[in-house]
Amino acid sequence: MRWLQRATFGIDSASLASYRKLGRQRWLDVQLADHDDTLPPAIARLIASYPAISTPPQELLAQAAEARRQLKSMPEGDARVAAKKNLQKQARALAQQAQQAELLHAIYGSNPLKEQVVWFWLNHFSVYAAKGRVRLVAADYEEHAIRPHALGKFRDLLLATLKSPAMLEYLDNAKNVKGKTNENYARELMELHALGVGSGYTQHDVQQLALILTGAGIAPAAPRRAGRFGRTRPGFVRDGLFVFNPDRHDFSDKTLLGQRIRGSGYREIEQAVDLITRQPACARFVSRQLAEYFVADQPPPALIEAMAKTFQRSDGDIAAVLRTMFDSPELTGGEAGKFKDPTRFLVSAMKLAYDGQPISNAQPLVNWLNQMGEPVFGRVTPDGWPLDSASWSGSGQMATRFDVARAIGSGRNKLFMTDTDEPNPATPRPRPAVPALDSPLYRAVVEPRLSQATRVALGKATSAAEWNTYLLSSPDFNYR
């Protein structure tokens, strides 16, 4: 059970049944093969109803650009103020839909190991939705940059995030052009995404990588300007919303990490990504980050070394690196357990409380995660949310978790309400049902690991809702 707790966001009946049927190795094989990434039909329909998901990102950007142009042409006054507020409201709604979609995947996804890895990479390659146009393309970032590559080659994942409009906007590479270099993304790519501090790269390497990345930006949203970005010009590259414009690129020769890269245009970017991801420092850095998230705040050096060797031997195959980690005795040895960050807490609580029962309103999930201080796409700085236990185990955090536990455990939440469920005094809604946490799943997964103190507390509960609240807020449940 402890191994399965590490391999999932939290055990539900479906993952437990699958594990018991297949056994550990076959279960792990199925998860890492990544052939099944489906959702229950009701959840799939709910996600598909979100404009952030169903509308192509280029259309969302074009709509926003047109709305801004109309706003600029309006005279000062109440109408313009109202139009501006409405535009901001629409953008916030798109960001919230992206958050809801990710949390629904985490709770209901058919590949629970992959869902953890998707969240890990979203955090590792963190973007902040409230900056510029990021909120318009946050859902696209998760769906098309992170999810398809979460268990593939690290090189492909890094390149996908590099070419995503969310990352280009967030770390300003869309402004990185010949003669006016912006080093923001180049620095974070090396420090936070691929190599880590102390890996040996220099400020000169950052400057050279920034020059390599000049001209990499976002396609214009306005259709009337699209003709300026024809595909027939030599050296021009377009992939979705990503464009490489040779007119904005510095074609000088560069030296990156001791290797000469000839000024050749877009090919320089691919060469730089290949060079960076094949550094031994990249293998160690990524392996350490994964081990810190899944295993321990201070992962065993021997485990990191084994994972790094697999990384190098497999040319950065993420699934192979994870297999090395999940096959190791260090995964469940040593520490008593890692303290759950808010996302792990929320998802595992939902899995235990509702055990696959589809909800119809995911906004409470977003609200609860906001209250606990770890919103998806909500980290202002590019370093992502902290992975260590100490960052999430303070008294204030625990008080907030108690409130969230009570909301989930009592059933008094809006998870099963839709936008059309308006309160009507004449026909009041029936009292919400209390989730049955004292279930076969609980007795198989949670009860055997409970401490005596938690058992005593549960024995003092005066109602099912109170019992649920005590269980979900207990130290036993908050460690995995």
pLDDT in tens, 421-460: 555 555 445 556 889 899 999 999 999 999 999 999 999 9
- What pLDDT does 433 receive? 83
Residue 418's pLDDT band (cuts 50, 70, 90):
confident
Token representation of residue 446: 């949670």
Tell me whether residue 290 is in a domain.
no
**Residue linked to tokens 């000469």:** 260
Size (the chain), residues: 480
Q: What is the mean pLDDT of residues 387-396?
A: 94
Instruction: Give pLDDT tens digits for 98-138.
Output: 999 999 999 999 999 999 999 999 999 999 999 999 999 99
Distance CA 415, CA 408 (A): 9
- What pLDDT does 78 receive? 87
Query: Quick check: 215 and 245 in contact, CB under 8 A?
Result: yes
Query: Quick check: 232 and 289 in contact, CB under 8 A?
Result: no
Instruction: Give pLDDT tens digits for 145-194.
Output: 999 999 999 999 999 999 999 999 999 999 999 999 999 999 999 999 99
**Which distant-in-sequence residues (6+ apart) come within 8 Å of 79 by Cβ?**
none
Average pLDDT, rounded, for the chain = 93
Residue 264 has pLDDT above 80, yes or no: yes
Give the 3-state secondary structure of residue 10.
coil
Distance CA 255, CA 176 (A): 18
Tell me whether residue 446 is in a domain.
yes
Residue 224 has pLDDT above 50, yes or no: no
Instruction: Give pLDDT tens digits for 279-289.
Output: 999 999 999 99
Tell me whether residue 271 is in a domain.
no
- Domain of residue 465 covers 342-478
Q: What is the mean pLDDT of residues 58-70?
A: 92
> What is the torsion angle, in degrees rounded to the nearest 10, for the CA atoms of residue 7, residue 13, residue 16 and residue 21?
-140
Residue 419's pLDDT band (cuts 50, 70, 90):
low
Residue 470 has pLDDT above 60, yes or no: yes
Tell me whether residue 22 is in a domain.
no
Distance CA 183, CA 473 (A): 44
Domain count within the chain: 1
Strand 242-244 versus strand 216-218 pairing type = antiparallel
CA 388 to chain CA centroid, Å, is 17
Tell me whether residue 237 is in a domain.
no
Residue 334 has pLDDT above 80, yes or no: no
Tell me whether residue 66 is in a domain.
no
Instruction: Give pLDDT tens digits for 40-58.
Output: 999 999 999 999 999 999 9
Residue 226's pLDDT band (cuts 50, 70, 90):
very low
Tell me whether residue 162 is in a domain.
no
Residue 229's pLDDT band (cuts 50, 70, 90):
low
Q: What is the mean pLDDT of residues 33-45?
A: 94
Q: What is the mean pLDDT of residues 296-316?
A: 96
**Which distant-in-sequence residues (6+ apart) come within 8 Å of 127 by Cβ?**
134, 138, 141, 166, 167, 170, 377, 382
What percent of the chain shows pLDDT beyond 70?
94
Residue 238 has pLDDT above 50, yes or no: yes
Query: Quick check: 439 and 460 in contact, CB under 8 A?
Result: no
Tell me whether residue 231 is in a domain.
no
Q: What is the mean pLDDT of residues 77-94?
A: 92
Distance CA 43, CA 246 (A): 43
**Maximum alpha-carbon separation in the chain:** 76
Distance CA 445, CA 200 (A): 45
Q: How many CA atoms lie within 13 A of 451 on its CB side?
A: 11
- What pLDDT does 73 receive? 86
Give the 3-state secondary structure of residue 242.
strand
pTM of the model: 0.94
- What pLDDT does 420 receive? 54
- What pLDDT does 456 receive? 97
Query: Quick check: 235 and 265 in contact, CB under 8 A?
Result: yes
